[in-house]
Amino acid sequence: MKPMERPYYVTTPIYYISGSPHIGHAYTTIVADVLARTARTFRPTFFLTGTDEHGQKVANAAAAAGKTPQEWCDELVPRWKELFAAYHVRYDDFIRTTEPRHVEKVRRVFERLQMSGDVYLGKYEGWYCVNDETFWLESKLVDGRCPTCGREVQWISEDDWFFRLSAYRDRLREHFLAHPQWVQPRSVYNEMMSILNEGLDDLSISRTSFDWGVPIDGGGVIYVWLDALLNYITAIGWSEDDARFKTWWPAQTQLVGKEIARFHTIIWPAILWALGESAPDLVFAHGWITVDGQKMGKSVGNAVDPFALAQRFGADSLRYFLLREAPFGSDFSYSEEKIAQRHNSDLANDLGNLLQRTLSMLQRYRDGIVPDPAGGSDAELARRFAPLPMVVRDRILDLRFREALEGVWELVTALNRAIDERKPWTLHKEGRTGELNAVLYDLCEGLRWIAILLHPFMPERMSEMWQQLGIPGEIDEDWSSSLRAWGGLLPIGQTALAAPLFPRVELPTLA
């Protein structure tokens, strides 16, 4: 187990309110939730998510719907909150960039940058991608289109404020070299390093040709990316509550999709340094959920409704799938068939059947009461799995979710094997009560461990399993006391045989 470290702060990108959310949006937030739930088991934790509401992309979406941008955002934000609730996400704060608590501080940042000489007035002439809210040099366009999303770009020519990003290039390179783990995965680190090696241009940080943003004295609005990045510090008390801010900053883990890595690993640290603050410990750029090799997205028309999906498979099953299917960092292709296969094999068969078999044997042989093992617990099982909680916790905090789950599945497999090998039905028939009690106890104890270790991944299903196992209270979040040694489960608990935890789903018929 990692030593007691300082409080843990994890963030997701804040989401553009340009339409309804899809499963790709739920992805980053679910991952952050798994991290936060795990970190909370041993240290103070703060998990921030929210919405990015300014900028031309949102303004255009609102105009197309015949609404003011503020009306549009106010109507859509509940949809995002419903999405996170539907997927059992427990964030500590949800920040909206239109809130006064954010807007005031963004203005303060701008004034500070003006005073420190980090910004200057100049003329911006070049291309702009509204979808990504990104300025592009002509030389970077691909076939005249945005190199990130492939959409058309528009020519803009305006008097803007510029941030002296170029002045931070050497410091950024030094930071990358001194902290080779600070941007992950390695492929993204290398890509960012090559951007730094090529050289940096100063960054336009205002827009004068439209007005949906944080206003600048003297005209124009602040560039939406500067406004948005600042959410990570405005939400935790930057510049008004120093004690609070210092508790959480620098963040240990900032999760982002790989297409926005440059903003978070080049522009963001430079802005922080200009304000006299530190860069975050880690920016992890994850891969995309793809359909037919393309990033899932609303405008491509391949977006999957996350509400319908949660109805069909269960939100926890989806959470499990998203973290188990591919190593975190890689792209993975989405298909309902894959979700159904994972659900049926890992959850319905391996885990669900284990629980069902255990509870029905308890019902049949022991009136549903967890028996006393009377010192007969399987010492080999206890020895083998003693390190598991530490292994799982470390793997989660290292963002190796798939390996963490594989670790828990070793226990699931070992318990299924224990049923097959120790054959409780034979022990019962032959009246070997002591051995029967021991094996039934071990199964319940193993399931208790599994419920605790999988709780960050499947909070709702594991709480249900906890209840079925007849353990009083909520799932204990303090792993270090509840998983200290095999045998923590009190005998005498009254278990309840209920409907299957993970009912099998039919495989969708392929077209």
Question: Where on the chain is the footprint of ligand MSP (CB under 6 A)?
Answer: 13-16, 24-25, 27-28, 52, 228-229, 256-257, 259-260, 288-289, 295-297
Q: Residue 289 or residue 408: which is nearer to ligand MSP going by CB?
A: 289
Place of tokens 């899809």: 22
Count of all residues that appear for the chain in the document: 511
CB nearer ligand MSP, residue 74 or residue 259:
259
3-class SS of residue 496? coil
- The residue nearest ligand MSP at its CB is 257
Give min distance, CB of 3 to ligand MSP, in A. Answer: 31
Closest CA to 106 of 266, 234, 19, 237: 234
User: CB-wise, 13 or 407, nearer to ligand MSP?
Assistant: 13
Q: How many CB atoms lie within 10 A of CB 297?
A: 19
CB of 12 to ligand MSP, least distance (A): 7
Pairing between β-strand 283-286 and β-strand 183-184 as defined by DSSP bridges: parallel
Give the residue with the Cβ less far from ligand MSP, 296 or 412. 296
Cα(350)–Cα(354) distance, rounded to whole angstroms?
Answer: 6
**Residue 376 Cβ, how far from ligand MSP at the closest point, in Å?**
49
H/E stretch holding 284: strand 283-286
Spatial separation of the C-alpha atoms in residues 376 and 403, rounded to whole Å? 31
8 Å CB contact between 326 and 402: yes
Smallest gap from Cβ 147 to ligand MSP, in A, equals 15
- Nearest approach in angstroms of CB 331 to ligand MSP is 8
Q: In the bound complex, what is the minimum distance in angstroms from residue 24's beta carbon to ligand MSP?
A: 3
Of 163, 156, 159, the closest CA to residue 120 belongs to 163
Cβ distance to ligand MSP smaller for residue 75 or 174: 75
* CB 229 to ligand MSP: min, Å: 5
C-alpha distance from residue 385 to each of 151, 409, 446, 487, 511 (Å): 52, 11, 9, 12, 44
131 vs 416, beta carbon nearer ligand MSP: 131
Do the beta carbons of residue 447 and residue 358 sit within 8 Å?
yes
Peptide bond into 185 cis (omega under 30): yes
Taking the complex as a whole, how short is the minimal distance between the CB of residue 260 and ligand MSP, in angstroms? 5
Quick one: 34 exposed, middle or buried, by C-beta within 10 A (0-12, 13-18, 19+)?
buried
285, β-bridge pairs: 256
Which C-beta is closer to ligand MSP: that of 221 or that of 453?
221
Cis status of the peptide bond prior to 44, with omega within 30 of 0: no
| Residue closer to ligand MSP, measured from CB, 87 or 365 | 87
**Integer Rg of the chain from CA:** 26
Interior/surface letters 253-292, b for 16+ CB within 10 angstroms, e for the rest = bbbbbbebbbbbbbbbbbbbbbbebebbebbbbbbbbbbe
> Least separation, in Å, of the C-beta of 297 and ligand MSP?
6
| DSSP β-bridge partners for residue 328 | 330
- The DSSP secondary-structure symbol of 208 reads S
Task: Kindly state the smallest distance separating residue 237's Cβ from ligand MSP, in Å.
Answer: 18
Q: 238 vs 502, which CB is nearer to ligand MSP?
A: 238
The distance of closest approach from Cβ of residue 102 to ligand MSP in the complex, given in angstroms and rounded to an integer, is 12
Nearer of residues 37 and 54 to ligand MSP, judged by Cβ: 54
Return the bridge partners of 184, or none.
284
Residue nearer to ligand MSP on the CB measure, 230 or 451: 230
Three-class SS of residue 91?
Answer: coil
Residue 398 burial (CB count, 10 A): 14
Q: How far apart, in whole angstroms, are the C-alpha atoms of residue 375 and residue 190?
A: 55
Minimal distance, residue 498 CB to ligand MSP, in Å: 35
Tokens representing residue 96 in the block: 């909206």
The enclosing H or E element of 260 equals none
Q: Which is nearer to ligand MSP, 50 or 446 (CB)?
A: 50
